[in-house]
Structures are given as C-alpha cells and as structure tokens.
C-alpha cells in the first residue's frame, strides 16, 4: 500500500510539473499562484473542483468509449483525454485528443431482393488482392474491361455478393481517426469570459478543421449568464476510389475527381439561469449553415423493376449542397438532496425537411458520500428528408436528389442506460456507464412494389455502448 | 413563418432576460449550485462521446452546442 501511495504521488508530481510548465509557458506568473495547499488527504466526500479564488489548478480527464452494433455491424473503440489548466484569475487553457478505430459491416443503401445481388467497388490495383479475401467479407477481385480515358488503376475491382432476402451490407468497412483540439478562455475587462478554440481531425478519407470563439456575460449576482458562440468548420472528403458522379451507376472504376470540400458556419445563443437554490435552467438556440459536398460517397440507392420490385441498378446517391438547421434546446437540472434530475428537450428542423424531437432524462442518486448511480433514458424521433427514397422506380424520371440512407429517413431511437460513479476523493472520480441504443422505423412502407412487400425495408440498428472515465483535479 | 418564429423566440429571450433580474438565490444560498454535479456539463468527455454516437446515427445535431461533428462520421 505504501508503495502504491508513493507511486501515485510521483505520477501526480510529474503531471503537476508538466501542467505547471505548460501554464508557466502560457501564462505570466500571478501573485499567490504558487500558494500550495494539500487537498489530497481530504476524506472522501462530495466532489468539489473549486479550489477557491487565488488558486491555480489543473483537471485531467481520460475516458474510453466502446461501441458495438448487433449483427456484426459497426464497432468502434475510442480513447480520449483532456487536460485543462486553470489560472488564479479565471484564465483557462485546455488541450485534448481523441483516437478511434471503426470497423464492421455497414448497409450500402440498396434494398434486399429475392435474388442474390452483386455489387462492385474500386480497389487499389497493386497489392489489393492480398488484402481483400473471402475472410474480409466475401469479396472477390474482378478484372474490369479496359475503358478509354480511365485511370490505370481501373484494371481491377472488388465484387461482393449478397444472398437473397438479405440486407445488402459492405463488410469491408474500416477506418481510423485521430483528432486534436485546444481552447483558451479568460475574463476581459468587464466581460465575464471570452475564448477561442480550434480542432483538427483526420481519418483515411476525411479531414476536418474547426475554429470557434465564444463570449459570455454574467448578470444578476451571477444568477444569469448570456452567451454567444461562433463556430466554423472546413471539411474535405477524399473517399477511397474517388468522388462518384451523383446518380451514376455504381462501378469499380477509380473516379478522376479525388476531393470535395464542405464549409460550415454556425452560432449558439444561450441563456443560463439559476431559478432557485436547487433549480438551474438553460435555453439555447443554435443555427447552422453547411455548404458543399454532403454526399456519402459509398452509399447507393436501388432502382427497382416497376412490376416485380427486383433491383435492376444501383446508383450513387445525391444530396443538396446547402443545408441550414435550427435547434431549440432546453435543459433543466434539479437538485433534490439525494437526487439530481437532468431533463433536456430539443426541437430540430432543417432545410432538408427533417424535423426531430429529443427528450433526455437522467436521475442521479447519491449512495452515501462516495458512490452514486444514474439511470438514464432518451427518446428521439425524426421525420424523413424530402429527398429520402428507400428505392427509385425504373422507367420514371430521376429526381435531382435521392438518398436511401436510413439516417435521413423517418425513425425513432431509444436509449436506456445506467452509470455508476465512485468519488475517490474530493478531487478525483471514476465512473462507468453502459447504454443500449435501438432504432425502429417503418419496415413495410405503403406502396411497396412486388417482392419488396416481403422485405424489411428499414435496416434496424441496435448497439451496446460502454463508457469508462476518470477525472482528476490537482495543483 | 420561420421569420415570425425567430422574432417570437428573440422577444421571448429578451423578456426572459428582463424577468431574470428578480430570479435566483442569494449568494449564501448557492451551496447546492456549487456541487460538481450541478455544473451545466459536469462530464464533458462523456457528453462529447454521446454526441459523437448520435451524430453518427441520426440526422440532427447541435442545440447543446454546435452542430456538426468535426469528423466524417456521418
């Protein structure tokens, strides 16, 4: 036990030194900043990371998310960490990082058929035959007929076969992502807080750069806070196989265009109010504008025979290049002694015709001073985008936009979860949370044609989510 | 219709702010608000992870914070 305590102290001292070094580099010294006071020997009790005025402290958060969908579909592992350094006068510097690894089968957008279906996608011309095997999803390498004007890499393609009466999925999906972010905030004159932040995220076929700034002001003896946050995002999509021509027939050729971009601008206007000794409420309005490439470059939509309903073609999807969204968010926290209730409601609407409602409820129950449990439930329902089609009908004119992505269709999502927390000391906490998430939609829409009447046209998703986190405040 | 809704919303915000002046506890009554679990977002990594999952699986994002996910997850 002695050894453990000493080792923990060494780690703490090391982190404290690193933190102090970073702060010293970023912040000029302040009177009283160096004042040291031991909080670590406090008995376990209510967590309190307010070290009081005049103290510099840091907060280290580390967590691991594990996500797994049923039926061998998408799974993800995502470790994340964040270090925040708080100076005595309210200045804050935080840096964080996220990594994730995602793999599994994902619906390609086609409808099921009473006949087996073949799909083709590009592969790299060299060395790909070794990496694409039957073990990686029943894929085979095919030779493509030479096409004038195509890239040299168009000589080979990947084909996978989906059995009859089965939801078509591509099992070759895998990706890795790494992201970094940093933020600075401080009081400025009479302004309670002003801050800036930036983030960078990179995966094998996507890159995102974000920058944001915010301003907040307290009123009424600090019972009221008004805030305004601005966000900008610049994303680049460079899908494997290139950018497909919208609504063209799916094929294994490498496309000549490799990259498309998207820009995003948004703001959040917020009002937070302490209503009573035990009731805190927050109201946010968020607006967001996205312009540019918003297609899922791997996703297709089936064209079916108008009589039999059998798919005859697979077309790459197409979405509008502009999207505006509005969110109205209301959150309430109510402290009733042994319990803390958190209830939030959100109404969302966008220019694609999607409307959604979200209700999220969590009830924290303190078990003595060192432990708590927090059961939670979430309800979500959205209507479909106005260009959502489970399939297109052959012989009819093509619409300008079409997607069969169920995430843009109408569905209901429900989540049930429970969290267990352990207040290790007044300055540190360990917690685990487990959740179950399920989507349900209309599997048999009216007007289904031929064999589609017998098929399940909503690709149900259910997932288990585990989250483990540790938080530590230190000098 | 949308413009009217925005006007009503902004007017509501202004009225709410004016009405806030008489709301809230005195400084010596803020013991409960000082507790960690009464922060607006006491577990930001957990919030970020959940928002990331929902951003990847649903069409709506934003409200609690910015819309979008800063990644190609959707």
- CB-CB: which of A269, A328, A380 is closest to B58? A380
Per-residue DSSP letter, A369: T
Q: A433, A439, A434: which is closest to A414 by C-alpha?
A: A439
| C-beta separation of A125 from A146 below 8 A | no
Per-residue confidence (pLDDT) for residue A269, from 0 to 100: 98
Q: A111, A74, A73: which is closest to A402 by C-alpha?
A: A111
* Whole-complex ipTM: 0.86
Per-residue confidence (pLDDT) for residue B70, from 0 to 100: 74
Q: What is the CA radius of gyration of chain B?
A: 18
Kindly give, in sequence order, each residue whose CB lies less than 8 Å from that of residue A169, ignoring residues fewer than 6 positions away. Answer: A73, A105, A106, A107, A108, A162
Which pairing describes strands A300-304 and A392-393: parallel, antiparallel, or unpaired? parallel
Which phi and psi angles does B28 have, rounded to 5°? -80, 5
* Residue found by looking up tokens 């305004």 in the block: A228
Q: A380, A374, A379: which is closest to A362 by C-alpha?
A: A374
* Residue found by looking up tokens 């309800």 in the block: A379
> Which of A199, A269, A276 to probe by mutation at the B interface, max B CB count within 10 Å?
A276
Q: A299, A298, A304: which is closest to A391 by C-alpha?
A: A304
One DSSP character per residue, A292-304 reads E----TT-EEEEE
Q: Name residues 24-63 of chain B within 8 A of A (Cβ).
A: 24-27, 29-38, 40, 43-46, 48-50, 52-54, 57-63
Number of cross-chain residue pairs from A and B with Cβ atoms under 8 Å apart: 205
For chain B, residues with pLDDT lower than 70 are 1-5, 9, 12-13, 15-21
The CB-side HSE value for A397 (13 A sphere, CA atoms) comes to 2
Asked if B70 and A78 come within 8 Å (Cβ–Cβ), the reply is no
The ranges assigned to domains in chain B are: 25-62
**Chain B partners of A63 at a C-beta cutoff of 8 Å?**
45-46, 49
Per-residue confidence (pLDDT) for residue A408, from 0 to 100: 97
Residue of chain A with shortest Cα separation from B49: A65
Asked if A272 and B57 come within 8 Å (Cβ–Cβ), the reply is no
Distance from CA of A269 to the nearest CA of B (A): 9
Q: What's the average pLDDT block by block, 10 residues per block, for chain A (475 residues)?
A: 42 51 44 35 50 79 97 94 92 96 94 95 59 52 66 71 93 89 95 96 95 96 96 96 95 91 97 96 97 96 97 97 98 92 98 98 94 98 97 96 97 98 94 98 92 94 97 90
| C-beta separation of A36 from A88 below 8 A | no
* CA A37 – CA A364 distance, rounded (Å): 31
Q: What string of H, E and C letters represents the secondary structure of A350-362?
A: ECCCCEEEEEEEE
Q: Name residues 426-455 of chain A within 8 A of B (Cβ).
A: 431, 433, 437, 439
Query: Which residues, in sequence order, are bridge partners of residue A21?
Result: none
Domains present along chain A, CATH in parentheses: 2-112+170-474 (2.40.160.40), 117-162 (no CATH)
Tokens of A363: 């009830």
| C-beta separation of A250 from A119 below 8 A | yes
Give, in degrees to the nearest 5, the angle at Cα A442 between A439 and A446: 170
* CA A145 – CA A156 distance, rounded (Å): 9
Which pairing describes strands A117-122 and A75-86: parallel, antiparallel, or unpaired? unpaired
| C-beta separation of A79 from A63 below 8 A | yes
Distance spanning both ends of chain B, measured CA to CA: 30
Q: Find the helix or strand (DSSP H, E) in which A7 lies.
A: helix A2-26
- CB-CB: which of B37, B60, B73 is closest to A348? B60
Per-residue confidence (pLDDT) for residue A7, from 0 to 100: 45
Per-residue confidence (pLDDT) for residue A130, from 0 to 100: 37
Sign of CA dihedral B52, B56, B62, B63: negative
DSSP-derived 3-state class of residue B20: helix
Kindly give, in sequence order, each residue whose CB lies less than 8 Å from that of residue A286, ignoring residues fewer than 6 positions away. Answer: A266, A267, A268, A269, A325, A326, A327, A329, B62, B63, B65, B66, B67
A333 reaches B (C-beta below 8 A) = yes
| C-beta separation of A472 from A430 below 8 A | no
Distance from CA of A294 to the nearest CA of B (A): 9
* CA A243 – CA A317 distance, rounded (Å): 11
Q: B63, B1, B18, B59: which is closest to A266 by C-alpha?
A: B63
Please count the other Cβ atoms lying within 10 Å of the Cβ belonging to residue A248.
Answer: 11
Per-residue confidence (pLDDT) for residue A384, from 0 to 100: 97
| C-beta separation of A211 from A181 below 8 A | no
């Amino acid at each position: 036990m002695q050894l453990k305590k000493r080792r923990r102290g060494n780690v703490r001292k090391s982190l404290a030194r690193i933190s102090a070094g970073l702060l010293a580099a970023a912040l000029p010294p302040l009177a009283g900043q160096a004042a040291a006071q031991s909080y670590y020997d406090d008995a376990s009790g209510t967590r309190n990371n307010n070290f009081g005025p005049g103290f510099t402290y840091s907060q280290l958060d580390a967590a691991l998310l594990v996500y797994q969908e049923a039926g061998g579909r998408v799974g993800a592992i995502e470790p994340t960490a964040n270090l925040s350094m708080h100076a005595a006068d309210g200045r804050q510097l935080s840096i964080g990082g996220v990594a994730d690894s995602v793999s599994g089968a994902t619906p390609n957008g086609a409808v099921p058929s009473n006949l087996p279906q073949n799909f083709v996608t590009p592969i790299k011309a060299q060395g790909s035959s070794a990496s694409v095997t039957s073990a990686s999803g029943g894929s085979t390498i095919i030779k493509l007929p030479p096409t004038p004007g195509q890239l040299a890499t168009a000589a080979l393609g990947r084909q996978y076969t989906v059995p009859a009466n089965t939801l078509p999925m591509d099992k070759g999906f895998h990706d890795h992502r790494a992201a970094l972010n940093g933020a600075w905030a401080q009081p400025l004159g009479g302004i309670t807080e002003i801050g800036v932040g930036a983030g960078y995220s990179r995966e094998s076929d996507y890159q995102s750069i974000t920058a944001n700034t915010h301003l907040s002001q307290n009123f009424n003896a600090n019972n009221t806070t008004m805030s305004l946050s601005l966000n900008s995002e610049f994303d680049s999509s460079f899908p494997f196989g290139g950018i497909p021509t919208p609504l063209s027939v799916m094929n294994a050729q490498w496309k000549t265009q490799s990259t498309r971009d998207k820009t995003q601008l948004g703001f959040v206007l917020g009002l937070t109010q302490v209503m009573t000794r035990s009731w805190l409420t927050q109201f946010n309005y968020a607006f967001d504008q996205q312009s540019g490439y918003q297609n899922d470059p791997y996703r297709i939509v089936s064209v079916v025979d108008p009589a039999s309903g059998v798919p005859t073609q697979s077309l790459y999807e197409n979405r509008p290049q502009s999207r505006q969204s509005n969110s109205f968010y209301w959150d309430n926290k109510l402290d009733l002694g042994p319990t803390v209730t958190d209830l939030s409601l959100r109404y969302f609407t966008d220019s694609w015709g999607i409307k959604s409602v979200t209700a999220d409820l969590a009830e924290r129950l303190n078990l003595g001073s060192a432990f708590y449990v927090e059961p939670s439930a979430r309800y979500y329902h959205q209507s479909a985008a106005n260009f959502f089609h489970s399939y297109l009908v052959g012989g009819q004119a093509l619409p300008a936009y079409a997607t069969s992505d169920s995430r843009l269709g109408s569905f209901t999502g429900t989540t049930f979860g429970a969290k267990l927390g352990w207040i290790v000391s007044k300055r540190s906490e360990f917690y685990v949370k487990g959740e179950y998430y399920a989507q349900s939609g209309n599997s048999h829409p009216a007007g289904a044609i031929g064999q589609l009447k017998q098929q399940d046209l909503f690709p149900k998703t259910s997932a288990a989510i585990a989250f483990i986190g540790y938080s530590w405040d230190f000098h | 219709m949308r413009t009217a809704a925005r006007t009503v919303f902004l007017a509501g915000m202004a009225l709410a702010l004016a009405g806030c002046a008489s709301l809230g506890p005195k400084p010596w009554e803020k013991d409960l608000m000082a507790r960690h679990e009464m922060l607006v977002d006491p577990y930001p990594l957990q919030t970020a992870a959940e928002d990331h999952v929902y951003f990847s699986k649903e069409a709506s994002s934003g409200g609690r914070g910015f819309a979008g996910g800063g990644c190609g997850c959707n």
